[in-house]
Amino acid sequence: MSAIRQTFNDPSSTTMPLLDRAKQLAASLLSERSQASGALVARQLREMLGALDDNDRRCFQRYLATEFHPHGPALRAAAQRYLAEGTAEAAAALARAAEPPRQELLRRINMAPGGISALIAIRSEIASYMRTDPELKLLDADLKHLFASWFNRGFIELRRIDWQTPAAVLEKLIAYEAVHEIKGWDDLRRRLAPDRRCFGFFHPALPGEPLIFVEVALVEGLATAVQPLLSQDDGEAIAQQRAARADTAIFYSISNCQDGLRGVAFGNFLIKQVVEELQSEFPQLKRFSTLSTVPGFRQWLANRLANASDPDAALLSQLESDSWWNDPAQSEKLRVPLLRLCASYLTRKPSIRIDPVARFHLGNGARLERINWLGNTALRAIQESFGIMVNYLYDHNTIETNHEAFVRDGTIVRSPDVDALLHITD
């Protein structure tokens, strides 16, 4: 009797705890050689996982992490062979022996309809308790390794998202927007107007689920504040005229949608391909820039100013004042020192932990172009960065050299304006 029939046709299996049945299915799936029956077991295992409660699901995840290690004697023999021979064939044999059977099990789970969604959900869930259960890091690493292959650029598709896109996808934009909250359908309609563009990456196995999306404003000149970009719609005709006059594309929001795919690179490909799409549609565009948040600045500055000997320590009491950004006189006193300090924060060597948004854009070859005072006065932006926003400029002629300089020795390419901020005196 096959493993499938034993599990599902044996009356005793109906009294077996769900967790034990899931483990039995996983073992059967890994040993099953028939592609057709393997797909059946994969589907049944996926359905079983959906029926587990939170505790049993966590136990099953630990089972995946701890019970499917490489075969020790085979790995040892392959390692000894490679040390003795040093040949390409011996290296390939060592790589095969070192791969944990868990990876093959995950590949087979992926055969089931909805299998990839289940695996993404597993990785999303274990992120919250890997620190207290470090053995789960093995499962996390295997999932990340497989996702890097399954979601590489050759398998994902760029799509423009507009008002004709199915409502189910548009609803997900509202839910997944991570930078500037979309406040309902009217707000979303404005972001999809003729002088705006939205693009997302999609995968064939997740047709209605964006992996990442970017929102773009077509404007004249370098936008330095986000509120005008998020303003209410003033008519399609006017928006079309703005698009026709635009000379600059501003990437003002990039949102990753699948937490289980963290660490899988999408954003760099997305920006570069969107630039190509926009250049094709709007040949008059001369400049491509972000208008980005600085999420780590406030925490960094608070830690620095907590040292009473710091020459800027006196700023701390002023920054704790309620609504200082709404008081022109008070905010003007803070403008110069905060811009200087933000420039210092953003130009530190990457060997020191730098701002994650800065690392992303600088690593993609952008130039640190401009630091903007009170570019976003929403409360969240004040709490993160005192409302400061940054333009990272993507210049086609220098992207590759900027990227290489950043990766090679941490060089942060910046404009003369940013250099000037580093040397101003208050």
- Among 261, 290, 319, give the residue marking a domain's end: 290
Q: Give the full edge-to-edge strand order of the sheet including 212-219.
A: 157-160, 196-202, 212-219, 248-256, 287-290, 389-393, 367-372
Q: Are 342 and 389 in contact (CB under 8 A)?
A: no
- Please tell me the total count of domains within the chain: 3
This prediction's pTM: 0.90
Burial class of 199 by CB neighbour count within 10 A (0 to 12, 13 to 18, 19+): buried
One domain for residues 408 and 368: yes
Do residues 12 and 138 both lie within one domain? yes
Same structural domain, 18 and 134 = yes
CATH of the domain at 235: 3.40.630.180
Which domain CATH number covers 89? 1.20.140.90
Nearest CA among 274, 113, 88 for reference residue 197: 274
- CA–CA separation, 342 and 295 (whole Å): 11
- Give me the domain span that covers residue 80: 3-150
Residues 215, 241, single domain; the answer is: yes
Which 8-state DSSP code applies to residue 366? Answer: -
Both tokens of residue 334? 């803070």
Residues 6 or more apart whose CB falls under 8 angstroms from that of 198 comprise 160, 161, 162, 173, 191, 192, 213, 214, 215, 216
Helices and strands: H and E segment counts in the chain:
20, 7
Q: How far is it, in rounded angstroms, from Cα 413 to Cα 398?
A: 10
Same domain, 33 and 117: yes
- DSSP annotation of 194: T
Is the CB of residue 387 less than 8 Å from the CB of residue 300? no
369 plus 262 within the same structural domain = no
Among 361, 396, 403, 415, the active-site one is: 361
My answer on whether 197 and 325 are in the same domain is no
Q: Are residues 201 and 178 in the same domain?
A: yes
Assess whether 122 and 173 both reside in one domain: no
Q: For residue 6, what pLDDT is reported?
A: 47
pLDDT, residue 35, reads 62
State which of 107, 124, 150 marks the end of a domain.
Answer: 150
- In one-letter notation, the amino acid at residue 411 is T
- 146 and 11 part of one domain: yes
Domain boundary among 290, 312, 342: 290
**CATH, residue 321:** 3.40.630.150
| Under-50 pLDDT residues of the chain | 1-9, 11-12
The three-class DSSP label of residue 196 is strand
Residues 13 and 146 in one domain: yes
Q: Which residue out of 253, 292, 331, 385 is catalytically annotated?
A: 292
Task: Return the CA Rg of the chain.
Answer: 26
- Catalytic status, residue 403: no
DSSP label at residue 33:
-
Q: 236 and 315 share a domain?
A: no
Q: Would you call 361 a catalytic residue per the annotation? A: yes
Secondary structure (3-state) at 67:
coil
